[in-house]
Structure 1
Amino acid sequence: MNNCLLLSFATLALALPQASHAQQTSARTAAPLAAGSVAPAFKGKDAAGRPVELKQLLKKGPVVLYFYRGQWCPYCNKQLSQLQDSLQLLTAKGAQVVVITPETQENIGKTVEKTKAAFPIVQDRGFVIMTAYHTTFTVDEPTAKKYRGFGVDLRQANGAQEDVLPVPATYVIGCNGRIKFVYFNPDYKQRASVHRIAAAL
């Protein structure tokens, strides 16, 4: 319905070592947008090439905005699978779900295959949306090297020149365009449940 509230969550990696807070905030730094602030406008395309624009989505109801790291992250895959399985809990309240990732379209296809995701997943080229929502952080070289040791080359996975990831955050954006609820946790093992987001809505 028209109760527009913000979702919550966190997203990070595989059985990979967790970056320390200091590592996560070096170079590009991440910090949550405040509840009550105006949600930054964004445009993008989903995996099928269909346009996704916040302004148009909000005409239909509240938006739940998820950020995730990539198809290589088992915690992300588990979360998106659970989101797909319980999607009706959110859509029944008029909410629309949009997922943002830095990974390439090819890797988004792998994510869809693994999670059966039926909601739009938008590739954030140049980290524009991630930066607007303050989820972007630079992974330092020692950590990026450890990731590569596990077979995860972040630059290759994202088609980028930097080792950058989003803090797995979730924002619920009300129909008035303002952020109603935020879940922002650098610990990739901690995620807000779909039931918690549904309750927020």
Structure 2
Amino acid sequence: MAKLEVGDRAPDFELPDASGRPVRLSRELARGPVLLVFYPGDFSPVCTRQLCSYRDSYDRFASLGVTVLGISDDTIDKHRRFTEEHQFPFALLADPQREVIDAYAGTGMMSGGRAHRANFLVGQDGRLAYVFVEKVSLFHRGADELYEAVRAALEQGAQAPK
């Protein structure tokens, strides 16, 4: 896996959401910037806290015109149950083959061989405007800190030229 950096073109992908509907990054970008949230797995204590904090701050991200997409290697069915239990307003995408995970966040021993916790903001131009990869799975970018990083990246021009 090559390390992605701010300014790199984001690899396009298509993954199913919790209802099985295909979600393609390039289609989502037509509406605005996309925040990709990679996490090790549904229902784990840290992942649940992380995604619930993003859920609770969802309106702040939406006010910036940002679409949030969560990605792990869990199944569509597990994502559906996790979404229903916690009422996530954003899509969780299933990547059981870890192709998108490997292209972006990678996997590691500290996350039990699963996805590193990572956040990638993709601007409407398809380029990465913000990159954060946490190698220690017990930690995650807090919602307030992530919101401020996304807001700052957008102010620096992550939007497509009008």
Question: TM-score w.r.t. structure 1 length?
Answer: 0.68
How does 1:1-201 map onto structure 2 within 5 Å? 32-137=3-108, 139=109, 164-199=113-148, 200-201=150-151
**Contact 1:89–1:194 (CA under 8 A) maintained in structure 2:** no
The DSSP-based 3-state class of the residue aligned with 1:98 is strand
Give the distance between the partners of 1:36 and 1:113, measured in 2 at CA.
Answer: 35
Cα deviation per residue 1:104-148 (whole Å; 9 max; x = unaligned)?
A: 1222133213422121111003111101114233x49xx96xxxx
Give the distance between the partners of 1:168 and 1:107, measured in 2 at CA.
Answer: 18
Deviates more, 1:79-88 or 1:105-114: 105-114
Cα deviation per residue 1:138-172 (whole Å; 9 max; x = unaligned)?
A: x49xx96xxxxxxxxxxxxxxxxxxx400011101
What is the aligned residue count? Answer: 150
The structure that is helix-richer by fraction is 2
Give the distance between the partners of 2:138 and 2:72, measured in 1 at CA.
Answer: 17
Question: Greater relative contact order: 1 or 2 (C-alpha under 8 angstroms, separation 6 or more)?
Answer: 1
Give the distance between the partners of 1:99 and 1:71, measured in 2 at CA.
Answer: 10
The DSSP-based 3-state class of the residue aligned with 2:23 is strand
Q: Which has the larger radius of gyration?
A: 1
RMSD between aligned residues:
2.1
Letter in 1 for 2:89: A
| Sequence identity (%) | 28
